[in-house]
A and B are shown apart, each in its own frame.
Chain A
Amino acid sequence: MTTTEKPETAAAAGAPEYKVIGTRPVRPDGVDKVTGRAIYGADVRLPGMLYGRVKRSPHAHAIIKRLDVSKALALPGVQAVLTHEDFPEPAEPIMQTIRGPQPTAWDTERQMARRKVLFKGHPVAAVCASDVHTAEDALDLIEVEYEVLPAVVSLDTALLPGAPILHDDGKADAVEGLFELVDGKPSNIARRLDLTVGDIEVGFAEADVILEREYETSMAHQGYIEPHNGTAIWNNDGKLTIWTSTQGAFGIRQNVARTLNIPLGDLRVVPAEIGGGFGAKNVVYLEPLAALLSKKTGRPVQITMNRTEVLEATGPTSGTRSWVRMGAKRDGTIVAADIRLEYEAGAYPGSPMPGGARCALGPYAVPHQRIVGFDVVVNKPKVAAYRAPGAPASEFAVESLLDELAERLEMDPMDLRLKNCATAGTPRSDGATHGSIGAREVMEAVASHPHYRSEMGGRDVGRGVAMGFWQNGGGESSAYANVHQDGRVTLVTGSVDIGGQRAALAMQFAETMGIPYEDVNSLVGDTDTIGFTGNTGGSRTTFATGWAVYQAALDVRAQMEQRVAQMWEVDPSEVTYDPKDATLRGPEGKEITFKAAARRLPGTGGMIQGQADIVATNVGKVGACYGAHIADVEVDRETGKVTILRYTAVQDVGRAIHPAYVEGQIQGGAVQGIGMALNEEYVYNDDGTMVNSSFLDYRMPVANDVPMIETVMVEVPNPGHPFGVRGVGEVPIVPPLGAIANAIFDAVGVRVTRLPASPRVILEELEAAGGT
């Protein structure tokens, strides 16, 4: 069930009538995917291709004393073996990452360990052979002697004075702010972030009620269906081509070129169809290994991961601990918030703690704030982005404490939130101020929704609500459009299609041109066939690449005006392209349809191609996004099982280009958040071995574990986009953690502060509360 609410603001702005935007056409890749014909990365087959496997460390923390690959090389069928010695020295000692500068060598060492292994599953060698079984057998013949070190597998052990230090090689010394000494000693704290608004001493002095609590969330994996893969052919002429499953071919190109120390122009990255990414497929794992093995053998090499490798050695999201203290006046005005966040980064710095810090209080106007974040390295795989990276954990903490505050103040939880709602101009934690946002519209839509207002019946059932905030990204996008003689258009962009973008982009193009969606053939280019485009992530694609295709369509229109002016022998300024009926009009009632004009292009100077390269950086207006979820649960006090009875997700989507895919994003995000809330966790042995490294033991919710996720799309158009688009993909993973924890409290009166709320956690909390 879905409703679209158009609030006053949109109506007042005179919401335009669209012909294509807002409809629900079939995606161009749909048929191939449901019939099994789509070519994913592991489906790539090249003549003479070899198969690679990766030898991985069985230890979470150890020094490599000896590495001998000679027996593996001698195995018949084995074509080459790769170790750290095959990787070049980095050209630049320091590299820029989205989480700040880091020693470049670390990125290479993450892909292939050199002196130390820092997590179980850390690659130490790779083999390629004529078949995957031979490669697998060869792994057992690689001899590695380790000096095993104590493993750091929790925040507690990582932060202990005297804890084993992961990065003791001095490489961080060159980077300011990275691993600064703590009390004069090395530590596992990679970075510290301080955000301050106002003065919390002043704020807490004004408070009538002050609550504080600590919360924990588990490491969780994105759980995409398709494991990582990489296929490479490095030709004798020095040209390297890579096929891979990625969210961004250009990001992979940059990373691989840096690791292999080769010119960007020698490397072509072709993005295959992708079977899910959720942030984790922006990272390079197998591609450089396949490339170097191809260089050694002169043959194409393909490496794929199995599920255990994906869970143990790719980039899940952080395990976290958040401490929150908030003060409010008796009338519900929140006056101060003091937050401390500790996020596990895994083996190398770069947890999503900054995202968590910036978003924690995003839905609210809090005059006095202090947020301190710590990025902590532990002997686990380096975390990667996961849908609104960092936000679910910190906002779970804030939304839980707010619920408690509402209870203490005897206020309706939504009334408390509405009282403190952020609006345009509200200072954000990061020092900026909010642009045009839909926080209030979302909160009002929840408060007035029939679900929120319905009565709950039955024993041990409860309702919870929570907000979610995510900033969304912009960045570079490229598009071009080939106009064909029949008036159809091939639209090429550099945005890998994870969530129906090919359709959403074709729709924005068709709308701008005034032509049918079916007339646009929407494709994804590779790094040699399309201009630079940022990765599909940060909820940026429908927004930023949508903007690029809008510009490309305007370019087509302008060129068509020129050509038609030429045909009519009038000045181009006298010809206007009218997108209402895709017709060009000139003086004296002259008119010609776009289709008819396209037919005449060959004789008037050849076919045309519209093109655009844009940088969407309208900071403050890039369409920050809010969601709010309502969860009804039933808690079985005897078995600890939490059943979700009803679930509604409300979200400001700016403008829903393809409503069905927006709903899909909201539903998918909600289910992943539900997984974090109830099921999913990395269980680590003290030695740093993940014990539940299969989907049988790492339990994600599937379709029949959740009810229909009802979606409500609130449309508060983003003034910084031609169609009002806001990114929609990430924010829906944020609210479920708080909404479900709050619902559990409403049902059985216990505050779950550590997630997932497994049967064990529920029963232990109930027992502690004396209420079983």
Chain B
Amino acid sequence: MRANPEARPIAGGSDLLGWIKEDVQGTGEPRWNLLVDIRTIPGSDEIRFDEADGLTLGPLATLDAIEHSPEVQDRYPVLSRAAGAAASPNIRHVGTIGGNINQRPRCWYLRNTEFDCYKKGGNFCFAVTGKNEYHAILNGELCYIVHPSDAAPALMALHADATIRTADGEQTMPFDEYFIGPRQDVLRENVLQQGDLLTRIHMPTPSPNAGMSFIKAQRRGETYDFAVVNVATVIVHEGDQIEDASIVLSGVAPTPFRAVAAEDALRGQTVSDGLLQQAAGAALLRARPMTENAYKVGISKNLIVRSVREAMA
């Protein structure tokens, strides 16, 4: 794949095949002429938990397998719920964790062949002057996509690391550094270059005092929908006393958004309504909604408050 820029790895294919069939590729990337099935790589779908070492996921573990893994359900409920919140049961049976976090954004301009936007190699973001009800309220620049993954914020909230194989060999990095914004490279949403593969996901064993929550706000009742906003929260606490907080949102920014200001506001504090409101407000302080998406600021704040409460319940 490294030698052939027109080759692309395929696993579950639930995003890639639609991308190809709908012919939305622009000038920014070559037209794939070779799909390399990576599902046959031995062990690539493992789900392995070790009390001392933590949880290791092969990138090809399916969302369904992760959702229903007893260890994940027991020790990493935020991940189990995030995996189970994605797409439909059919897709979760073929869709992989690696695919879920590496899938391309759902921006309706990006996905429409008529719009040659930045992300396709063009020189415009149509959301800025167009219909932006579901676009970014935070960290948008050049391009205002939102990160579509349900699993990614959970991995970040759990302080997971990504191991990738590149031309220079293997590298491991926190997921906080794995996702990249439009300013860094508008054509990609993560560090992977042509030929690189995500090979392993690993996260530490959570503190016994960790409470977790995953909440997804979506348009339809229960079904098959990308998040308007979702939030994954891990709170380490003793009763009302918060020791540590990890809060990550998707659906609000071009990458999964770590609510650092909220985490800082909560860490070491005693939980209260006022504190939660202050923390949520701090997290969204830099929100810059566009013409149609200001309502997402409110949803984001409300979900942060709700998820911290839920994690500490």
Contact = CB atoms under 8 A, between A and B. Distances in A.
Nearest to B217: A639
Question: Which residue of A58, A763, A764 has the most chain B CB atoms within 10 A of its CB atom?
Answer: A763
Interface in B203-231: 217-226, 228-229
B173 interface: no
Contacts of B237: none
A764 B295 contact: yes
A638 interface: yes
A685 interface: yes
Interface stretch (B34-42, B58-66, B74-82, B296-304): B296-304
B81 to A, nearest CB: 16
Interface in A619-676: 638-641, 643-644
Main secondary structure of the interface of A (DSSP, over half): loop
A143 to B, nearest CB: 17
A679 interface: yes
B124 interface: no
B223 A705 contact: yes
10 contacts: A120-B114, A638-B302, A685-B131, A691-B112, A694-B22, A699-B219, A706-B221, A759-B228, A759-B295, A763-B299
Given A639-B302, A759-B217, A759-B299, A697 B223 contact: no
A257 interface: no
- List 9 A-B pairs, minimum CB-CB distance, nearest first: A705-B221, A638-B302, A639-B217, A763-B295, A691-B108, A760-B295, A704-B222, A705-B220, A685-B130
B8 interface: no
Interface in A364-403: none
A683 B108 contact: yes
Contacts of B224: 702
Chain B's interface size range is 20 to 34
A758 B218 CA distance: 10
B299 A689 contact: no
B109 interface: yes
Nearest to B23: A136
Interface residues of A, number: 34
A640 B295 contact: yes
Contact of B298 (A697, A706, A772): A772
B133 interface: yes
A201 interface: no
B219 to A, nearest CB: 6
Main secondary structure of the interface of B (DSSP, over half): loop
Interface string B145-177: 000000000000000000000000000000000
B298 A641 contact: no
Given A705-B220, A758-B133, 15 more contacts: A639-B303, A641-B219, A685-B126, A685-B131, A686-B130, A689-B114, A691-B109, A694-B111, A699-B219, A705-B223, A706-B221, A759-B299, A760-B292, A763-B295, A767-B295
Interface of B: 22, 106, 108-109, 111-112, 114-115, 126, 129-131, 133, 217-226, 228-229, 292-293, 295, 298-299, 302-303, 306
Contacts of B131: 683-685, 691
Contacts of B298: 638, 763, 767, 772
Contacts of B228: 639, 759
B222 A705 contact: yes
Contacts of B112: 689, 691, 693
A685 B115 CA distance: 11
A692 interface: yes
B225 to A, nearest CB: 7
Contacts of A760: 133, 292-293, 295
Contacts of B222: 704-705
Contacts of B221: 643-644, 701, 704-706
A58 B219 contact: no
A685 B225 CA distance: 22
A291 B106 CA distance: 38
A296 B219 CA distance: 48
B220 A699 contact: yes
A385 B262 CA distance: 51
Interface in A290-335: 308
A550 to B, nearest CB: 43
A120 B115 CA distance: 13
A120 B133 CA distance: 22
B283 to A, nearest CB: 15
Contacts of B220: 679, 699, 701-702, 705
A715 to B, nearest CB: 32
Question: Which residue of A639, A640, A701 has the most chain B CB atoms within 10 A of its CB atom?
Answer: A639
A744 to B, nearest CB: 15
Given A705-B220, A759-B299, A696 B106 contact: yes
Contacts of A704: 221-223
Contacts of A684: 131
Nearest to A761: B295
A697 B225 contact: no
Contacts of A120: 114
Contacts of B295: 640, 759-760, 763-764, 767
